[in-house]
Amino acid sequence: MHHAVARLRAERIARSEKPFLARGCKAVRCPECRLAVSHCLCAWRPQVEACSGVSLLMHDVEALKPSNTGWLIADVVRDTSAFGWSRVEVDQRLLALLDDPQWQPYLVFPGEYAAPERVVSEVCTTEGKRPLFVLLDATWSEARKMFRKSPYLDRFPVLSLQPEQISRYRLRRSKRDDHFCTAEVAAMCLELAGDGRAAEALNAYLDVFSQHYLASKAPRAVDLNDPLHERLQTFL
C-alpha cells in the first residue's frame, strides 16, 4: 500500500458489503495505479519535494472511484493523508494531525460560504510551521454538506482561491470550464505556498493520468512520446 489514499481505498473495500463496480470494471487493473494494466501509470510517478502537506477528507465512495484524483495528489506530495468523512464521527488520527504543531491547517473552500473573518487568500505560515491543505474530496453538493457539518474544522482559516489565480491557471492550462478536480485545486494551493515545482509536476501528472484513463476506456493506445509525456518526464 504505497500511500494514504490507497490505504483508505483498501479499508473502504474491506467494509463494503457488496463490491463497488466501477464502470468498465472488466479491465484488469493495476493494483498500484488503478488503471487498466495496458495503460499503467506507475512508471510515470513524479519525484518532487514539497514543503506543504495535504489532508484529504474523502466522501464515502470517493476513494473507490477509478477517476478520483486525490490519489494523484498522494502520489506526488509525500505528506498526504486521507480520511473517510462521516457526519457522525471523526477520525481521531485526523484530529491529532490537525493539532500537530508542525502544521498550519487551511481548509480550502470558496470564501462565500464561510464567515468573512475566516477567509484568507494567501498562505503565510508562522515560523516553523508548514501549510497543511485540507481538501474536501467529494462532489460539490457533498462538499458543501461536509463543510457545514465538520465543526472540528471551524477554527481554521478558509483558504479561498481567488478569481485572478483561477483565471491565470485556466489560461495556462487552456481550460474552458470552471470545474476543477481535487488535484487541480491542490496544485493551485501548492503554487500559493511556494511549492511551484510540485504544482507543475501534479498538473503534468494529472494530464497524463487523464489521457491514460480515457484511452483505457476507449480503448486505444497512448503515445508515450507525445508532449504530455515529455513534460512529465522532466519530473521523474
> Is the Cβ–Cβ distance between 10 and 1 less than 8 Å?
yes
Query: Torsions phi, psi of 59, nearest 5?
Result: -70, 150
Q: For residue 132, count CB atoms less than 10 angstroms from its CB and return exposed for 0-12, middle for 13-18, buried for 19 or more.
A: buried
Considering only 30-38, 46-54, 71-79, 187-195, which stretch makes contact with Zn ion by CB under 5 A? 30-38
Using alpha carbons, select from 193, 187, 177 the residue that is nearest to residue 207: 187
Instruction: Confirm or reject binding of residue 40 to Zn ion (CB under 5 A).
Output: yes
Instruction: Confirm or reject binding of residue 33 to Zn ion (CB under 5 A).
Output: yes
Q: Which residue carries 464521527 as its cell? A: 89
Considering only 4-12, 28-36, 57-65, 69-77, which stretch makes contact with Zn ion by CB under 5 A? 28-36
65/170 with CB nearer Zn ion: 65
Instruction: Confirm or reject binding of residue 42 to Zn ion (CB under 5 A).
Output: yes
> Is the Cβ–Cβ distance between 186 and 123 less than 8 Å?
no
Considering only 3-11, 33-41, 57-65, 182-190, which stretch makes contact with Zn ion by CB under 5 A? 33-41
Instruction: Confirm or reject binding of residue 32 to Zn ion (CB under 5 A).
Output: yes
Q: Which residue carries 491542490 as its cell? A: 186
CB 28, min distance to Zn ion, A: 11
Instruction: Confirm or reject binding of residue 90 to Zn ion (CB under 5 A).
Output: no
Question: Which residues make up the interface to Zn ion (CB under 5 A)?
Answer: 30, 32-33, 40, 42
